Each structure stands twice: as C-alpha cells, then as structure tokens.
Amino acid sequence: MTTTRSNASTMALEAFTSSQPLTLGVELELQLLDTHDFDLTPRSEDLLRELVGHSGAWDVKPEITRSMIEIGTSIQRAFAPLRDELRDLRAQMSRAARKLNIAISGGGTHAYQHWSEQRIFPTERFRYISELYGYLAKQFTVFGQHVHVGVANGDEALWLLHALSRYVPHFIALAASSPYVQGVDTGFHSARLNSVFAFPLSGRAPFVLTWDAFGQFFDKMTSTGVVQSMKDFYWDIRPKPEYGTIELRVCDTPLQVDKAAALACYLQSLCRHLREERPFEPAEDDYLVYTFNRFQACRFGLDGEIVDPKTKQRSKLRDDIIRTLARIEPHALDLQALDACNLVRESLTEGNDATWLRQQRREHPPMAALVETAAARWMT
Amino acid sequence: MYQQLIDWFVNVLRAPLAGLRGADPVLGLALVVLAALVLASALHRRLRLPRLLGYLLVGAIASPALLGLLQRTDIDPWKPLIDLAVAALVFELGTRLRPRWLVDNPWLAACSALEAAAAGGAVWLALVALGAPSPSAAAAAALAAATSPVITMATFLEARPRGQVAERLLMLSAINSALAILAVKLWPVLAHTKGLSGPDPLALLANASIVIFGSLLLGLACGVLIDRLGRLHDEPATMPVLQLALVILAALLAIAWGLSPFIALLVAGMTARSRMRHRLMVQPYLGSAGAALTVMLFVSFGVLSTLQDWRALWPWVLAIVLARLIGKGIAIFATARPSGLSWRQATALTLALQPMSSLSVLLVADSFGWRTQLPGAEPAVIQALLIATTLMQLSGPLWTLWPLRRIVDETGDDDDNPVER
C-alpha cells in the first residue's frame, strides 16, 4: 500500500474565511488514564459516546490514538466566559470519566507511557497518518493546546503569524508541562515539542505576507504530492482558512483549565497590541534566531535565554514576558483579560507546570502517583 | 477396533503413571504439570488459544471422566498449594478493584446485583420447571450465579486487556462470587424452612453474619498489615514474599476460623491498594512461585471434571447453562446504556461472564467434595450443576478471551502498527 495519496485527490487552497478579529477558540488534547496504574488507556470511544448529549456549546472529538481526546470551545471573546466554558467542560467530562472508571489529565506528555502500546483511532485520516508516518504517528501521543485567533483576512493572518513568531518562546515556556518521557526526566520543560519536530512538515511557516503568495506556495507543495491540505502542515503557527483564524500550536496542554484560558487571552491581548500598534514589521531575518529561542524555551522554560532578532540582545525569557505584559496591559484591559494576564504573571513567580510536576515527583516518588496527582489537578 | 485402541492407549499410560504415583507423588505431579505446559504452549503458538485452556485440558484428559489417569482423591494432598494459588489470584483481583466506581456509577452497582440475581433466578426457574426440587434448585442457582473469578483473573493476567468490558468483568465476577458464597452459607436456612435436615435457622443466620463480618475484618487486618510491614520493610525485591506470606496467613486463618477466604482476600487486596496506592507493587500471580501454583490449580480444575450421568441429566445441564446466559444477558442489556456500555460491549460482557466457578467450595471445604457443603441437596441437581461447571470451566478461558479479543478488541491483538507489518 502506498503511503502518499494520489495527486488527483489534492485540493487547491481554499479562500480565507473572514472572521471577527481577536475572537478566540481553544482546543485541548487530553490524556485518558486507567485508574489502576494511571497509564494511558484506549477508552476515547467510550468517553465520546458518554459525552454525546453534553449540554455545552463546546465540542469533543477523537485524536490520533485511542488514549487521547480533543476538546474545543465555542467562539469566545473574553477571559471570564472562556474560563467558565472550560470549567463546565471539565466538570461534564470528569463526571463522565468517573462513571467509566477512567481519569483525565492535562500535561504535554504522559510520564511513562510506551508509544508502541498506543492504538490508532479508527478513522480514515488517522489511518492515513499512521500509514504515512509509521511509528512517528504513535509517538505523536503528545498533548497540546491550540489557540485560534480570529482575523479579518488572509493577508492579516500571515502578517500576524510572522509578527507572533518572536513570541513563540513565551508560550512554550509558560505552558511547558512535559518534562517526563518514557519514565525519565528529559531535563526539558517541554519535551513534547521534540516529538513534533520529527515530522517533516513541522517548524515554521514560509515567510510570505500575502494570501496570494501563500496560495502559490501551497500549489507548489501540492504539486509535489507531499501535502494535500493545510492539515498536513504541523507548523508552530499556521493559518486556518476555513475558520478565518491563525492557530498557535506550540503550547503543551496545561494541568488546569484556568491556565489554558489565561494563555489564550494573553495571546489575544498580544495580537491586539501587534495589530493596533504595529511595533515592528516582521522580516525573514526574525527567523535567524527562531529555532535557538524555541530550543531555549523547551529546554529551560522560563529560565531560558532568548535573542532579540532585531537588537541581537540576550535576555531571560521571564524578563521578556514581564516587559511584554506591561506593554499589552491597556489592550488586556480593553479585552477584559487583566485576570488572565495576572494569572500569567503569577506563573512567572510560581514556575510553570513542568516545575510543579518535578516538585510533585520529589514528594510522590512513584511515577504513577505523579500522574494521578496531575489528573486530580485537572479534574477538580 | 477404536475402543480396543483407546483401551490399549489408556493402559499404556496408566501403568507407568500408577508406578510413578506409588513411587513419588511429587514426581507424578511434576510430569502432569510438564505435560500441561507443553500442550498449553503448543495451543497458544499454533492456534492462539489461551494457555489456561491447555492446563485445563491436560487435567481433564487425565481425569476420571476421560482417561482416568488421576482420581479426584489424588489431588486432595495438593489442596493447600491449590488454595494458595487461588488465594494469590483473589488477592490480586482485590487490588484491581476500585469500590468507589460503584458509587460513581450507580447503574454499574445495580447491574452487578441484577446480573447475579437474574442468573440465579433464571437457573432456579428452569430447574424447577424441569422437575427439580425447589430448595435444591435454589442451591444450584446460587452457585450458578457466580462467574469464576480465578479464570477471569488468570485470563486477565495472560491477555492484559484494557477497556470497559475487562474492568467490569473483574468487578462483576468478584461481586457475584461473593454473593454466591453468601448464598451457600445461607442455603441451609432455606433448606430448614422447607423441612430438610439442618440446624436452627437463627443459629445459621448468626453463623452467616459471623462469616461475613469476620471475613471482612480479617481482610481489613491483612490489608493494613501489608501496608504497615511494607513501610518497615521497604525492599521492592522481597515485597512479593511479604505479600505471599500474609496472603497464606489470611487464607489459613480464614479456613481455620470457618470464614470465607475469598471475601477475606478480596478485602485484603482492596484495603492494601487503598492504603498503599502506588507503593503496592503486585507481581502477576504474586511472583514466579504463584505462577507455578496457578498451572497446578488449572490442572486440578481439569481433574475435577465430571460428566457422570450426563445422559440422564443433560436437560438440566442445558437448562443451567442457557438460563444462566439468558439471565446475565437480560440484566446486562437492561443496564447497559445508563451504565455507559455500548450494545457490542454488553454482548462481550455477557459472554465473558459465562465461565463457572467451583471456587466457592474450593476454599472452604476440607476436600474437593461439593456435597459436604450442601447437606440435604438433591444429588442429581448437584451433579447436573457439576457437569455444567465442568463444561463452563473447561471452556472458560475461551468465553472470557474471545469476546475481549474479537468483539471489543480490548487485548490489543489487532495490530495497527504499519511498521511491524
């Protein structure tokens, strides 16, 4: 069986749907755990069936392996309603999970699951990915938070996407919650992104600033047969033309829904600051330091050092976030996102979820106890 | 011609085995266990059948029902070891159970009570309809309500399934076995009210209460002791030894005090898990010694096979098997959707609950004689139950494994990894 689909089935890039700028949507990939040993358990079909009649406007769907589940909020504009929807979602999911004797957890990786034991969810797309990527598909049992931000058109989407590139390390470091992989401490704060890097179409989007130019790039790629749709790109930030959004994909799933909401609204406030003040114009050279900064955030979290692509100055990520929070504060005020920014500010002193997990590991030596504690943090 | 060949084959086998038994019973046992391992391995490799089936078949082939190489009394001397194997599996089953699940999912609690009651009720109705005396039919019904927790747990350890059906199978087989033991203890009360021989009902009720609460207390004490001694003796390599020693102690005390070792060990497992959480490391079968004993246990189950009088009793046997299947099926399907089960999963769970259990007797009797447990019961009814148990015990691993593997795919055998193709 061939692992690439025929060119006859490739599609042209669809038109960019306009959406209300700065609206938000949050997707969270979550871990399904066995309550006995707290290893991953392939129960997504059971949980999906149990949640069919849920009362929220949110959405729940399968992910690539059966031990994962993805939830998505409705379109939101402010922190409080987004947080409330996520809390409602958490409550309903937790109730269903308890009924099925499973636990749910956030976190970017499961601390000791073995990728070879994971099982692909039976849909055409997931089977295609499994055929194409082989064991990488099962190693992709990692859990991220994706944030969609509404933009008016494709040109604005691409401008904002590239302008945000220098802030990508902020989100990696703030959301980092994946220090453990296959039973060992990797030394990274976000080891999850190392699994994403293995995919050939991961990394950053090409530096084009208009939707027409992006369409030309897309046509060239589809003509090679390497990609068929936008879903085949695993970029850190990618445009989502059917939703009219850009999608930030670098965050690990936080251990608590409040933090997920706070990160989304930090991004929203930052996007408003960039749109309205246009403090700089994105340039191809911004990407000279992109992978270095990204590595620093993954490896050292908030203590990482990043290089400013314009001034070439080095600074601590934590300090850069503090300065950014001060700059975007008026926008956060207008967007009713001050509480979100305060939560982000608190996490700068308390440390990210990776730090919390390492503290828990010191207090609760067995790995299973660590995962159980993380699940309790998400479910309550 | 064929009969002559069979007789010759049996004689060829009997002569050396009889000699070996006379010389050294341990050697005979070792040979049977060796044969069981070889057959189990062949069945597993060539036909992907569970190993347990091989152990059971070797025992059954050697039993009086077929070749008669071993007599039921031959395995009485092994009983302490077999009790230990059962105790290890029951303790392990207890550590897998999370009682809180019954609170989180009340429909599951209802299902567990209903399926035992419906299976027992259906068996009683069927036997009475076929002319069996009511009290004896009630005794058979009580025992038929149970699913073999030993077959369930051993199959679970072999196939390592993960899913709703496997989890519920463990929970339901533990509950219905506990209810069956309770019913066996209370059966003399019913027999007495129906004019059958037996002591005073009030005394029997008091005794049943003592058995239940005493078993619970013994189990709690054992679980607490595993936790306390585990803290003092924090050495992972010898933890299985500590667990095995305490499990033996609890089982022997329960037998000596006339309590239920099954309930005591189940509670011990649950208590140890609840107190120790992830510090409690339980090796499968409590280690390699337990695994060896488990082979012996299943060979013994095979030896206990009986098909005596099956020509006369087959309608009752069929009634027991079918009524049990229907009773469990009705209860599980009735509670499936509200308890969070799909129809496919309900089908798999119904089938997986079919292996029958002689466990309720194994752990409380001094020997393997069932009739001593149910004085006054109609021998023909009990024999029909024994034949049904033989059939559903020998085929037990298939009843459990096939639905988990083929209907709900919880064993992970259907490989979806293209790299390995």
Beta-carbon count within 10 A of B70 CB: 22
What is the pTM for the complete model shown? Answer: 0.88
pLDDT level of residue B244 (50, 70, 90 thresholds): confident
Residue among A42, A96, A120 whose CB faces B163 most closely: A42
What is the interface pTM, i.e. ipTM, of the complex?
A: 0.86
Domains of chain A: 13-379 (3.30.590.20)
Contact A101 B104 (CB under 8 A): yes
Which residue among B162, B340, B419 places its CB closest to the CB of A50?
Answer: B340
The residues facing A147 across adjacent strands are A26, A248
Please report, for chain B, the start and end positions of each structural domain, with discontinuous segments joined by +. Answer: 78-411
Residue B239 has pLDDT above 60, yes or no: yes
Interface test with B, best of A40, A99, A133 (most B CBs within 10 A): A99
Work out the pLDDT band at B363, boundaries 50, 70, 90: very low
What does the mean pLDDT of chain A come to? Answer: 91
Size of interface A-B (CB pairs under 8 A): 62
pLDDT digits (tens, 9 = 90+) for B390-399: 999 999 999 9
Give exposure, A349-372, as e/b (b: 16+ Cβ within 10 Å): eebbbbbbbeebbeebebbbbbbb
Contacts of A42 in chain B (CB under 8 A): 162-163, 412
Identity of the residue in A42, A98, A372 whose CB atom sits nearest the CB atom of B162? A42
pLDDT of residue B135: 87
Q: Which of A222-231, B23-32, B326-335 has the lowest mean pLDDT?
A: B23-32
The answer to whether the CB of A262 falls within 8 A of the CB of A79 is: yes
Q: Return the structure tokens found at A52.
A: 């069919």
CB-CB neighbors (< 8 A) of A53 in chain B: none
The answer to whether the CB atoms of B98 and A36 lie below 8 A apart is yes
Rounded Cα–Cα distance for residues A243 and A105 (Å): 28
Mutate to test the interface with A, among B102, B111, B157, B416 (most CBs of A within 10 A): B416
Question: How many Å apart are CA A359 and CA A83, to the nearest integer?
Answer: 26
Q: Of A99-108, B61-70, B123-132, where does mean pLDDT reach its minimum? A: B61-70
Nearest to A369 among B278, B339, B419 (CB): B278
pLDDT at position B420 over 50: no
Q: SS3 of B96, please?
A: helix
A366 and B104 in contact by Cβ < 8 A?
A: no
* Phi, psi angle pair for B355, to nearest 5°: -55, 135
- The residue with greater pLDDT, B30 or A91, is A91
* Minimal C-alpha gap between A122 and chain B (Å): 9
Beta-carbon contacts of A54 under 8 Å, excluding residues fewer than 6 positions away, are A60, A92
Chain B residue with minimum CA distance to A126:
B416
For A140-149, give one letter per residue: b (16+ CB within 10 A) or e: bbbbbbbbbb
| Confidence (pLDDT) at B12 | 60
Options 3.40.1550.10, 3.40.50.1100, 1.20.1530.20, 3.10.20.30; which CATH number does B78-411 get?
1.20.1530.20
Summarised one tens digit per residue, pLDDT across range A327-378 is 999 999 999 999 999 999 999 999 999 999 999 999 878 899 999 999 999 9
Cβ-Cβ contacts under 8 Å, B162 against chain A? 34, 41-43
Inform me whether the pLDDT recorded for A198 exceeds 60: yes
Shortest CA distance from A35: residue in chain B: B98
Q: What is the pLDDT of residue A1?
A: 35
Among A49, A131, A366, whose Cβ lies nearest the Cβ of B278? A366
Sequential DSSP letters for B142-166: HHHT---HHHHHHHHHHH---SHHH
Nearest to A43 among B98, B101, B164 (CB): B164
Query: Do residue A46 and residue B164 have CB atoms under 8 angstroms apart?
Result: yes
